[in-house]
Structure 1
Amino acid sequence: MPDTAAPTTPGLATALRLVRLAFHTGFLLLLAIATTRATLTHPTGWPPIAGALVLTAVYSTGALLRHTLHHRWRAMSWLAAVTAVWAALLTTSPDFAWLAFPLFFLHLHLLHGRHALTAVVVVTAVVVTAQGWRTGTWSIGMVLGPTIGAGVAVVITWGYAAIYAETQRRQALIDDLTRTRAELATTQHQAGVAAERERLAREIHDTLAQGLSSIVLLLRAAETALPADADKARTRITEAHRTAADNLDEARRFVRDLRPPSLSDAGLPQALQRLCTNTARETGTHCRLHTNGTPVALPSSYEVALLRAAQTSLSNVTRHAHASTTVVTLGYLDTEVTLDIYDDGTGFDPTTVRPAPDGTGYGLTGLRERITALGGSMAVETAPGDGTAVAIRLPLTPEEIR
Structure 2
Amino acid sequence: MRDGIENWRGYVYLAGVVVLYVPAVLLSGSTSFLLFALCPQAFMVLPAAPAVVAVVLLNAVHVGVLAVRARDLAEVTAPLLIAALVVVVVSMIGIWSQRTVAESDRRAELIAELNRSRDEVARLSRQAGVTAERQRLAADIHDTVAQGLSSVVMLIQAADADLDRDPSSVRRHLGLAVDTARDSLAEVRALVAALTPGALTASPLAQALHRLVERFGRETGLAARCTAGGAIRPLGTSIEVVLLRATQEALANVRRHAAAGAVTVRLDHGPDTVVLQVVDDGAGFDQDDTGDGYGLAAMRARVAQVRGTLTVRSGAGEGTTIRVEVPYS
TM normalised by structure 2 equals 0.91
> Is 1:172 aligned to 2:104, yes or no?
no
> Greater shift after overlay, 289-298 or 82-91?
82-91
Equivalent residues of 1:94, 1:134 under 8 A apart: no
Please give the residue correspondences for 1:205-284 in structure 2 after superposition, counting only pairs within 5 Å.
205-284=142-221
- Could you tell me how far 1:116 is from its partner in structure 2? 3.5
What letter matches 2:298 in structure 1?
G
Partner residue in 2 for 1:191:
128
> Is 1:353 aligned to 2:290, yes or no?
yes
Residue 392 of structure 1: which of 308, 316, 324 is its match?
Answer: 324
Partner residue in 1 for 2:313:
381
> Is 1:138 aligned to 2:70, yes or no?
no
- Could you tell me how far 1:108 is from its partner in structure 2? 4.0
> Is 1:102 aligned to 2:37, yes or no?
yes
Q: Percent identity?
A: 36
> Is 1:147 aligned to 2:84, yes or no?
yes
Gaps of 5+ in 1: 7-68, 356-360, 398-402
Equivalent residues of 1:348, 1:382 under 8 A apart: yes
Q: Deviations over 1:226-264 (max 9, x none)?
A: 121122112211211111111011101121122222222
Residue 320 of structure 1: which of 257, 278, 289 is its match?
Answer: 257
Gaps of 5+ in 2: none
Question: Take 2:205 and 2:126, find their aligned partners in 1: how far apart are those partners?
Answer: 33
What letter matches 1:209 in structure 2?
A
Count of aligned pairs: 326
Distance 1:114 1:307, change over 3 A: closer
Root-mean-square deviation (Å): 2.4
Question: Take 2:35 and 2:136, find their aligned partners in 1: how far apart are those partners?
Answer: 75
Equivalent residues of 1:337, 1:396 under 8 A apart: yes
SS in 2 for 1:338: strand
Residue 202 of structure 1: which of 139, 144, 160 is its match?
Answer: 139
- Could you tell me how far 1:169 is from its partner in structure 2? 0.5
Equivalent residues of 2:7, 2:47 under 8 A apart: no
Partner residue in 2 for 1:127:
62
- Could you tell me how far 1:152 is from its partner in structure 2? 1.4
Equivalent residues of 1:205, 1:363 under 8 A apart: no
Partner residue in 2 for 1:87:
22
Question: Take 2:134 and 2:294, find their aligned partners in 1: how far apart are those partners?
Answer: 14
Please give the residue correspondences for 1:47-126 in structure 2 after superposition, counting only pairs within 5 Å.
72=8, 79-112=14-47, 114-126=49-61
Question: Take 1:103 and 1:317, find their aligned partners in 2: how far apart are those partners?
Answer: 90
Partner residue in 2 for 1:10:
none
Question: Take 1:294 and 1:106, find their aligned partners in 2: how far apart are those partners?
Answer: 83
